[in-house]
Amino acid sequence: MGSSAKPPTPSTLGSFARSLRQSRFVKNYGTLIVFLLLIGVSACFTPGFLSAGTLENTLFQGFAVMLVALGMTLVMSSGGIDISVGSIMAVSAAVAARLYDADTGLVPSIAAGILAAGLCGLFNGILISKFKIQPIIVTLVTMIECRGLAQTILGKPSISFSFTSFNALGHYRIPGTGIPIQVVILVVAVGMMLFVAKKTVFAKHVEAIGENPRAARLVGINVVFTTAAVYVLCSILCGVAGIMQAAPTGNVIANVMGRYVELDAIAAVAIGGTPFSGGRPRILGTVFGAVVVQLITVIVNMNNIQYEYSLILKAVVLIVAVWAQREK
């Protein structure tokens, strides 16, 4: 009698999982592999998935997550985390909308909103670096505080500005090309962050702080300034995201704006390969990670599956991404 094939043992599966996780190819291209798998499966089973409309919807719906995730990449590269990003988006949008509603003008209103977001980031950065309070605690406080601040600034549940220049900004397309302004902002933001991550000493300082803040301080790196700058930059991107998310809808609801965006942003950074413990920022990985996170939501919606299932899928992808980052 021929011997039957033996089923894989737990030890065999464990060895395979470890070799897969430690594979340089998987570490370098894992996010791209997940992205392509999602595209392939969706193209086969989701009618109309490969259309220009789907691409545009993915960009519009994922714009805020992509922008916030870029800032979160530097924050996590420094060894920190920022769970206040959604509330900072609300503050920025509330300030801009309130000033615009008071006839301050479009440009000054937007500038004030972004400035307000930057000040929130400065508050986070100083408490974390100067007073050495854990980032999760500081940003939790800021998340609660800024959500209440945004509602106080509005002075009412919401402000509407439909059929105005503020509203038109959200629907603006580059003349002669039809390219949405959101795409231009994303391209500029990604280009800027790639330059910072690959060509500046600042990024090396951020990476050094993430790997060993004590050693970074001993070699002369200004840890307070660098850490504060990281959180300010992240918050400025949040400010832009908040304003540009509010503009197309024509209203700001302080209690809803930016809610749960921090979860998707953190997931995007983790999927993109930037270590939670600090280290080298992977900007392009974050971009693909943000697209993967948004594609999950789009695929669930297009297949008439309840939204709750997209949260479960995101959680599974996040767990796999964190597992793949383990060194041992």
The CA R_g of the chain, rounded to the nearest whole Å, is: 21
> Would you put residue 246 in left (φ > 0), alpha (ψ -120 to 50) or beta?
alpha
**Strand 179-180 to 173-174 pairing:** antiparallel
- CA-to-CA distance for 142 and 184, rounded, in angstroms? 30
Q: Residues 108, 109, 110, CA angle at the centre, nearest 5°?
A: 95
Confidence at residue 10, expressed as pLDDT on a 0 to 100 scale:
57
Confidence at residue 43, expressed as pLDDT on a 0 to 100 scale:
81
Q: Taking the CA atoms of 5, 7, 10 and 14 in sequence, report the sign of the dihedral they define.
A: positive
CATH for the 51-325 domain, from 1.10.3470, 1.10.1510, 1.20.120, 1.10.155 = 1.10.3470
Are 117 and 242 in contact, with CB atoms under 8 Å apart?
A: yes
- CA-to-CA distance for 138 and 82, rounded, in angstroms? 8
- CA-to-CA distance for 297 and 301, rounded, in angstroms? 6
Are 297 and 304 in contact, with CB atoms under 8 Å apart?
A: no
Confidence at residue 251, expressed as pLDDT on a 0 to 100 scale:
95
Burial of 286 (0-12, 13-18, 19+ CB in 10 A): buried
- CA-to-CA distance for 161 and 44, rounded, in angstroms? 41
Domain residue spans of the chain: 51-325
Confidence at residue 41, expressed as pLDDT on a 0 to 100 scale:
81
Confidence at residue 97, expressed as pLDDT on a 0 to 100 scale:
96
Where do the H-state alpha helices sit in the chain? 10-22, 24-45, 52-77, 85-101, 106-129, 135-154, 165-170, 181-199, 201-211, 213-218, 223-249, 261-272, 283-302, 307-325
Confidence at residue 4, expressed as pLDDT on a 0 to 100 scale:
53
DSSP letters of 138-193?
HHHHHHHHHHHHHHHHHSSSEEE-TTSHHHHHHT-EETTTTEEHHHHHHHHHHHHH
Q: Report residues of the chain scoring pLDDT below 70.
A: 1-30, 52, 325-328
Q: Which residues contact 140 (CB under 8 A, 6 or more apart)?
A: 83, 84
